[in-house]
Structure 1
């Protein structure tokens, strides 16, 4: 594995936790025991984790992140908390095995008291220009959260045919001009490889109608989102992670998930709704034992950032926060 990229700066200047107080308020009732355990499934630079450790003096946080640079920075930042913080490099769909190793939620081995997940690309990855996540700076088209292996965005652009590129851009980026952009990529790469973020951003801009470019922000935003999701297999990982996270919390434990685009939010909403719905067949006069809901929704719909927070922290503008409480052990899905 390659050495992690060292960030050029540290501390809160690089990361303002989104909806921090709302997350704390939603998870606090599950963290009132003598030695509670929280899994931060998306550690990043440790902004949320640091705040929870400061607020709850007996809390232990297990932070998961696939990015070795994030693990290195967060571990350095949180070293003062000693054994109350532990970092695990991996994807958050491994959350159930992490809970089995470290958890003792409410005295129940193999479970934790709460789970927090702050999805999407982190501020660290956006700010480290050479990672290639941002269309605002010229850099190699990498986009891997774990730079230790796997294909890059440039690899996808070089190898996928127009049909596959259209699928990626349409499904993961919800890009309505996906086929036009895909055809342009295939045409352009016949003359020169597409290996730089500026190349791709300019190509996207030239592929869509001029009238469309005047609204909605940078026209390359959806294309970059789609490639990042494809490179890191984010939606498949999330589809595995949410039910495993629910299974990992004790009865009375809580989970909170922050999503930043509709595909993520749909997965979280679907899993939470399934857990909050009785599986007793319709028409029966009583609810069958073992078919009761195993989750209680803690938010009415999704919580959004207040205009003041969105103005101060642009990343919060698209956030959707959902939370749920575990009601019983039975009924969880693997």
Structure 2
């Protein structure tokens, strides 16, 4: 499974033409590490990293502003004789800059996630009542729309749910409420993909299950209806378990045994079902010592296999 691409915003100030060009090349090379970087002029609002040329007259002001908001920095100056973490001498090569960017950007999210609570997107997805229905979210090079009225999110053609989920808990997300005409006129053509909240929660269960609240350990669970998922939204090995939960209530341990799946994977499915509102808590569940199977089960599971192009029972036995 490929690591989802992460998006970052890098600001630059005080660089001459040579270093600005090398910075652009170094940023483009980060795509090989599945890091998508958007370069922008210095802006302390929503920036992951500042690359600053300390020999420039504007450097002192930018340095002070960056320190005030705790933005990580990569400094380039003639005063530095040797490279060091966060520092490069004047004339640094593309490779030097690339290596520094990679280490600094990958280190930053660890600090951000330690202090974050419920991710902003999930806060909006859970909003009810008189809250605005449409919210435009931006983080780095990613822009998306949260539509609470249709319980869906809209994405650009080049962005996947997995990429969004990979940085769901970063604190650099910004949100603004917009109205429907504004979305139709300015953003609809840029955000043609639509994914349901259900697909979002199951994707979180797949890649970042720690972000979902944990249901009661022993509570049996049944799905209200089949989740709104495409074949690419979940691993094929999950489909039999989802079909079982659609058919009747199960406890996590019993379902893991019946489907030959790790217990923690089944627990992730339970988390997605609860978070998405699909869970029906049941008093009676299939016991862990018995897996009931009849003709109606076979017909329903065969329908699932045809829909997703899989042989579910053969996959379960492997």
Q: Under TM normalisation by the shorter chain, which class is it? A: under 0.3
Q: Which has the larger radius of gyration?
A: 2
TM-score (structure 1 length as normaliser)? 0.25
Structure that is richer in strand per residue:
2
